[in-house]
Amino acid sequence: MTNFLLTGGGTAGHVNPLLSLAQQLRAEGHHVVALGTKEGLESRLVPERGFELLTIARLPFPRRVNLKALGFPFRFLRATLQVLRMLSQHKIDAVVGFGGYASAPAYLAAYLAKKPLIIHEANAKAGVANKIGAKLTKNVAIAFENSDLSGAITGMPIRPEIVESVAGYDKGQARVELGLDPALPTLLVTGGSLGAKSINSVVVQSLPKLQAAGIQVLHILGNNSDLPELQKTGYKSMSYCDRMDAAIAASDFAISRAGSSTVSEFSAVGLPAVYIPYPVGNGEQQFNAVSVCDAGGGIMCLDKDFNPDFVASEVIPLISHSATLRAMSQAAKSKGIPDSTLRLRDLVMNAVNTKAND
């Protein structure tokens, strides 16, 4: 049995792959504890999955020189020493990091303690913590082939139930379970867990033309949306969907943000999509969807260009052409990595075994 510290948090892109690997390692008899902050998603999601969560203070890297920035090295050193004590107290054998505020001190602590360090980068454009951490280890895993980090392409660890369930679902049955017409082509719309106001607005404006074309819409609004949940002929909206396997299985096409988990899940099961990268931040979402779009499994559309005219001229004709959809589905699958969690597990265990044999 190996004792692992898995670190990462803040966003779903860090927490979800952490949990996928944690569950796999636990199922194989290893012991896993997680490291994060009290403010991130990990504070809720990690304990819900039955893992112990250790926390340190949230440590955003300073973006400008000011008094707070001058104190950053001391806060970082304090956090690193705190993680070093955790490694000793929990008899940690190896550290696996997924980025986020808690990761950088853990990377340095693993390096100082001479513990195997494995880093997974979920986005094609790496975050600051992982760029720093990648300089401390040769064990780097990347989710996308166009990543700006060098490493082994393991893909993005995704929930195995998504791939297995979608593969086993009858499309018509999935639609019936979601209250949709089993015979109509179906468009899935999602802006992520919080939603995307611009996407939601354009889709609602486009409903008359979508319905006139005989296309029904399954619209996941997001928890921050002020739009009402509705169900009517040709349209169903919900704030949150706890049956994403059924939603994906029911759909022929999707309109979505380009988060790493979403791109990876859609590709793994062959769901073609229009990807609309989140226009705020460091632009990583635009890079996440490049490979699958270049292969023909998706279409990239910038947020500023996504409007009812785009839906009418690009999306509706595409969904209405079954041969094109089939070709796009196969192209998406060609870029999918359904066994991504196992690939990452293999890289992690190889790093641990190599260290043990040194």
Q: Per residue in 210-239, pLDDT tens?
A: 999 999 999 999 877 888 889 999 999 998
Token reading at 261: 């988990």
| Number of alpha carbons in the 13 Å side-chain half-sphere of residue 147 | 24
* Fold equal for 3-158+339-357 and 160-335: yes
Residue 316, pLDDT > 90, answer yes
Give CA–CA dist 291/294, Å, rounded: 5
Question: Can you give the pLDDT at residue 100?
Answer: 85
If one counts every other C-beta atom within 10 angstroms of the C-beta of residue 211, the result is: 16
Beta bridge mates, 142: 121, 153
Give CA–CA dist 9/221, Å, rounded: 24
138-165 per-position pLDDT tens digit? 999 999 999 999 999 999 998 777 888 8
CATH 3.40.50.2000 for domain 160-335, yes or no, is yes
Q: What is the mean pLDDT of residues 10-27?
A: 89
Q: Average pLDDT over the chain, rounded to whole?
A: 91
DSSP assignment of 49-105: TT-EEEE----PPPSS-SHHHHTHHHHHHHHHHHHHHHHHHTT--EEEE--STTHHH
**∠31-37-39 over CA atoms, to 5°?**
135
Between helix 322-335 and helix 260-269 the angle, nearest 10°, is 120
Token reading at 280: 């705020």
Instruction: Pick one of 3.90.1300.10, 3.40.50.2000, 3.40.50.2020, 3.40.50.300 as the CATH number of 3-158+339-357.
Output: 3.40.50.2000
| Domain parsing of the chain, residue ranges | 3-158+339-357, 160-335
Helix, strand or coil, per DSSP, at residue 337: coil
Question: Can you give the pLDDT at residue 161?
Answer: 73
Is pLDDT larger for residue 83 or for residue 242? 83
What is the pTM assigned to this prediction? 0.89
Residue 61, pLDDT > 70, answer no
Edge-first strand order for the sheet with 231-232 is 231-232, 235-238, 216-220, 186-190, 253-256, 273-275, 298-300
